[in-house]
């Protein structure tokens, strides 16, 4: 048990430092510039960028809300915020070290695809239910 | 290379690599590196209480949960009862996702299924305290649909991850 705790401390410190780095190097305005306006491609772009972003999910809602106002499709915004909380590219080294490389890669890969599917299904279901 | 990894440990090498990135960034632009460190310290202050809880849970799980108990409720023999446990625990667990890796690693060693670990981690995305904020931005109907879909897909996520991890 102590070994597990000792092993996790440098990993957690590394992840926190990486999050600090990404939050500093990637300004929030950057996200509004990455979408193309293509309704088929934007959910994929949203999911990809959500997966490399890090930080409080609240930030993703704020960014998502602003993106909607600028005309970005709802599916793209939802893929972005779902991927933000379900995929962790920055945490991938930590997840690999503690839960296994294959597990971490598969879990994050599947979650990335699912973020797009969930986003599209949510938009469709919201439309159907009026 | 393999010898170095074994001697120092992949965990410490990871930290060293990140520190090196900071050093290089600091040489190029000190202000940016310091801003990154400021975010790091802010995050550290926020997560320390959660980290304390997680380490306490690891301690408690070590005292009370033996591999037989874990296997009974969260192992392959747990049947359907493992799913609601993983879903509810994932939704209720607080703090950032990476705080939970050590505890899950410990439970995995004791026999917890990969499917339930993945389901737990997926449900970490359902943040009850943040739901009002989400409703404010996206509306109640959409948030309810999204939350239900995420919970349903968490089970599918777990099943797929387990299926593929066990394949050669």
Top residue of A103, A115, A127 to mutate, by most chain B CBs within 10 Å, is A103
pLDDT of residue B128: 83
d(CA B126, CA B123): 5
Instruction: Estimate to the nearest angstrom the gap between the alpha carbon of A29 and the chain centroid.
Output: 16
Q: Which pLDDT band holds residue A46 (cuts at 50, 70, 90)?
A: very high
pLDDT of residue B19: 95
d(CA A72, CA A90): 25
8 Å CB contact of A4 and B138 = no
d(CA B131, CA B140): 9
Which of the residues in chain B have pLDDT under 70? 1, 5, 65, 67, 168
The average pLDDT across A49-55 equals 84
> At a CB cut-off of 8 Å and minimum separation 6, what does A63 contact?
A28, A31, A32, A80
Q: Which pLDDT band holds residue A129 (cuts at 50, 70, 90)?
A: confident
pLDDT of residue B43: 84
Q: Which pLDDT band holds residue A14 (cuts at 50, 70, 90)?
A: confident
Angle between helices A92-99 and A2-25 (to 10 degrees): 170
8 Å CB contact of A103 and B59 = no
8 Å CB contact of A95 and B98 = yes
Q: Is the pLDDT of residue A55 over 80?
A: no
Contact A67, A76 (CB under 8 A): yes
Residue with the larger pLDDT of the pair B39 and A3: B39
pLDDT in tens, A78-122: 999 999 999 989 889 889 999 999 999 999 999 999 999 999 999
pLDDT of residue B140: 93
Top residue of B10, B26, B43 to mutate, by most chain A CBs within 10 Å, is B43
Q: Which pLDDT band holds residue A125 (cuts at 50, 70, 90)?
A: very high
Closest chain B C-alpha to A32 CA, distance in angstroms: 17
Q: Is the pLDDT of residue A2 over 80?
A: no
**Mean pLDDT score of chain A:** 87
Instruction: Estimate to the nearest angstrom the gap between the alpha carbon of A45 and the chain centroid.
Output: 11
Residue with the larger pLDDT of the pair A27 and A80: A80
Q: Which of B118, B125, B133 sits opposite A107 (nearest CB)?
A: B118
């Amino acid at each position: 048990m102590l070994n597990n705790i000792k092993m996790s401390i440098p990993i957690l410190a590394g992840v926190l430092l990486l999050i600090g780095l990404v939050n500093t190097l990637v300004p929030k305005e950057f996200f509004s510039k990455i979408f193309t306006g293509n309704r088929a491609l934007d959910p994929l772009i949203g999911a990809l960028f959500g997966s490399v972003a890090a930080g409080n999910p609240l930030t993703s809602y704020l960014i998502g809300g602003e993106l909607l106002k600028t005309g970005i499709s709802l599916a793209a915004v939802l893929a972005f915020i779902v991927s933000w909380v379900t995929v962790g590219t920055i945490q991938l080294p930590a997840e690999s070290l503690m839960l296994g490389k294959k597990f971490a890669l598969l879990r994050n890969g599947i979650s990335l695809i699912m973020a797009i599917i969930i986003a599209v299904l949510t938009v469709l279901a919201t439309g159907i239910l009026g | 290379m393999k010898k170095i990894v074994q001697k120092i440990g992949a965990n410490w090498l990871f930290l060293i690599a990140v520190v090196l990135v900071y050093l290089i960034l600091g040489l190029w632009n000190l202000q940016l590196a310091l801003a990154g460190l400021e975010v790091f310290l802010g995050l550290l202050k926020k997560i320390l209480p959660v980290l304390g809880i997680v380490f306490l849970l690891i301690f408690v799980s070590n005292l009370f949960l033996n591999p037989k108990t874990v296997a009974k409720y969260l192992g392959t023999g747990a049947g359907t009862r493992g799913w609601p446990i993983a879903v509810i625990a994932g939704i209720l667990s607080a703090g950032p996702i990476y705080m939970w890796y050590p505890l899950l690693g410990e439970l995995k060693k004791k026999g917890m299924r990969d499917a339930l670990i993945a389901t737990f981690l997926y449900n970490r995305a359902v943040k009850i305290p943040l739901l009002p904020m989400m409703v404010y931005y996206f509306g109640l109907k959409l948030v309810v649909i999204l939350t239900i879909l995420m919970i349903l897909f968490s089970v599918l996520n777990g099943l797929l991850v387990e299926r593929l991890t066990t394949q050669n």
